[in-house]
Structure 1
Amino acid sequence: MMPKTDDLILFAQVVELGSFSKAADANGLTNSVVSKRIARLEKELGSTLIHRTTRRLTLSEAGQVLYQRARLVAQTAQEAFDAITGYSQSLQGHIRMSVPTISGELLLAQAVAEFCELHPAISVDMSLENRFVDLVGEGYDLVIRTGHLDDSNLIARHILDSHWTICAAPAYISRRGKPQVPEDLLQHNCLIYSYQESGARDWLFNRYGEIYPLRVSGNFSTNNAAALRRAALAGHGLAYVPRCLVYPDLQSGRLVELLPQQVGKILGIYAVYPYSRQPPRKIKLLIEHIRSRYMDIKHYF
């Protein structure tokens, strides 16, 4: 028997809201009705979808696979209703998003919380991570990412470009000297930002309009930008980081910018979401809100 579309949508809501009772409240149902409909769905599919405990719900492997399809069914159904009723003019529901750690701590945590306050019927779950998440496979509605994403199933909207900088504390420069050309870095302790799997030691430079890498070395590496900044501030070496991370430090003189005309790393910052003819209005408005907050401090980048 073909599962009922309503049951698929209800299943997606149970997963997103994290409990049978919240899904029941959202649909004006009793807990027992929700439980029976999920049990009916499991029986029709011949698979356990949700492992129930007293504290939380956990998806089985089959449940994870079905959820990715069921949420698309729910979204498509909602868009169909929106097109007829004009319901899209109201804003409600849940948004799951992933953002880079630096932007997340610098401005996105506050920007997204502000968006939720402006639209009380919307809730947002924001993860801070630098990896390229599987947007569709992991169930994200929106991702803010740096760097180009080559995936025809995704829409990437450019927000702004992030320029990188090489910097060091005045104490380090007075002790070790100030590099005049990129090759001088080979004689310095270069602190490595190892958030990426490869290329962390290959610093990029611009020479006569062409970008080339220089392999550097150093005695400290970390995948955490805040830790790298602290090591640089303490005078332990040179750091090659997004300018926005250290902008206040450069302005105050706690860090000094080095080789500014020759640093060649520039990464675009993008809002990325799954391809569809008409993304939900709440996603479009959140992107606009986020973009405006980036523009407010674009001089950091």
Structure 2
Amino acid sequence: MNNELYLRDLRVLCTVARRGSFIAAAAELGTSPPYVSKRIAALEAMWGVQLFHRTTRRVAVTEDGDIAYNRARRILEEVEEMNDLLAGGEREPRGMLRISTSLRLGRLHITPILSMLRTRYAELDIWLELVDRRVDLAGENFDLDVRVGDVQEASVIPHKIAESTRVLCASPRYVESRGAPRSLPDLVQHDCLAFRDRQQAFGVWQLTGPNGTEAVKVTGPMASNQSDIVREWALDGHGIIMASEWDVADSIESGALIRILPEYSRPADVWAVSTARSSASAKVRVAVDFLRQQLSDGPFALRRLL
């Protein structure tokens, strides 16, 4: 048996099972759907079982396929862990690094930083997925989830890679027409543009100020699950937003947005979260250190308000 080809086939199996599609698996693996189909057929012929139920829209794992997927995933994890242990800390990262993060942070900062990381480490392959939800690291086979806000799960390893806060702001046009709130409870009387992010309860803003941490239920005429959309609405004068300072620092500096209740803010540090197993791998250690360095002091660093 060609062990290298066998491990590649197991990786194909795991990717198809996780993505639920030969086409999506091929895109992630950087190959063609016919190649993926051929390798799955080879495994099915070797084992004498059907691994997937195939339909025109997607593939579903069979009972035998689920057994094979779970075993194959463990084998691949063990092989990578063994390589890291035997090579020690000197080995350059290699293999597939799978990262998830939120859409705007991913587009503005994580994407270009990962491009720099790939330039430095030629043996490292990268899959970046931008999602507006918390991911299941182990279940979805991600190595890292880069997120804004507190890490609440006890089953993951959090690595702080940048400090930041969320602040309240609005356009001068909105303040001229509606006035500025003088206290946190005054927000109830204002149009607040809600953003359904990965962490916070929708429509409830929790901020820390002179009286400690307070929560206020806000309402408004417009809401979205995309932070860049809500930011554009605020620039157009439709209401008040709570946004990460790195996302609005340029607009505040230019005067397009102004701070509202500047004595209030919400901690919104950036974390790279991994499982205990993946945190020991060379590729994850290198990625975490590189993200931390670049987000703090690099061309795509997160801006802080003075």
Query: Is this a same-fold pair by TM over 0.5?
Result: yes
2:229 pairs with 1:255: no
- Provide the residue aligned with 1:28 in structure 2: none
2:114 paired residue number: 112
Aligned to 1:267: 268
Secondary structure of the corresponding residue to residue 156 of structure 1:
strand
Please say if residues 141 and 274 of structure 1, whose CA atoms lie closer than 8 Å, have aligned partners that are also in contact: yes
- Counterparts of 1:88 and 1:295, CA distance in 2: 25
Q: Which residue of 2 aligns with 1:292?
A: 293
Change (3 A) 1:82 1:256: closer
The offset of 1:23, in angstroms, is 11
* Letter of the structure 2 residue corresponding to residue 205 of structure 1: L
1:39 to 36, 39, 45: 45
Q: How does 1:1-301 map to 2 (within 5 A)?
A: 9-15=7-13, 16=15, 18=25, 36-41=42-47, 43=48, 47-50=49-52, 58=59, 60-62=61-63, 63=65, 66-84=68-86, 89-196=91-198, 199-263=201-265, 265-276=266-277, 279-296=280-297, 297-300=301-304
Which ranges of structure 2 fall in alignment gaps of 5 or more residues? 17-24, 32-36
Runs of 4+ with >4 A deviation? 5-8, 16-19, 31-35, 50-53, 55-59, 85-88
With over 3 angstroms needed to count, the CA separation of the structure-2 counterparts of 1:127 and 1:281, relative to structure 1, is same
Contact 1:233 1:254 survives alignment (8 Å) = yes
Deviation track 1:50-101 (CA, whole Å, cap 9, x = no partner) reads: 4689x99956254356434422311212332443356961432111110122
Shift of 1:176: 1.3
Worse-matched range after superposition: 182-191 or 273-282: 273-282
For 2:6 and 2:66, the matched residues in 1 are separated by: 13
* Cα displacement string for residues 13-63 of structure 1 (whole angstroms, at most 9, x for unaligned residues): 2244946xx899xxxxxx98985445223x2xxx4224689x999562543
Preserved contact between residue 8 and residue 70 of structure 1 (Cα < 8 Å)? no
Letter in 2 for 1:280: S
1:13–1:23 contact (8 Å) kept in structure 2 = no
For residues 279 and 214 of structure 2, the distance between their equivalents in structure 1, rounded to whole angstroms, comes to: 41
Matched residues in 2 for 1:33 and 1:193: separation?
Answer: 43
Question: What SS does the corresponding residue of 2:163 show, helix, strand or coil?
Answer: strand
Q: C-alpha distance in 1, partners of 2:166/2:180?
A: 18
CA RMSD of aligned residues (A): 3.4
TM-superposed CA distance for 1:208, in Å, is: 4.0
Instruction: Name the SS for the 1:113 alignment partner.
Output: helix
Q: Does structure 1 conserve the Cα–Cα contact (< 8 Å) formed by 2:44 and 2:50? A: no
Whichever residue aligns with residue 300 of structure 1, its letter is: R
Contact 1:81/1:87 (8 A) holds in 2: no
Deviation at 1:147, TM superposition (A): 3.0
SS in 2 for 1:133: coil
**Local SS of the residue matching 2:303:** helix
Report SS of the residue matched to 2:136: coil
Q: 1:187 offset after TM fit, Å?
A: 2.1
Percent identity between matched residues is: 24
Q: Secondary structure of 1:284's match?
A: helix
The runs of 5 or more residues in structure 1 that have no matched partner are 25-30
Query: Using a 3 Å threshold, how does the CA distance of structure 1 residues 78 and 189 change in structure 2: closer, same or farther?
Result: closer
Counting matched residue pairs gives: 284
Q: For residues 140 and 118 of structure 2, what CA distance do their matches in structure 1 show? A: 22
1:27 aligns to what? none
TM-score when normalising by structure 1: 0.81
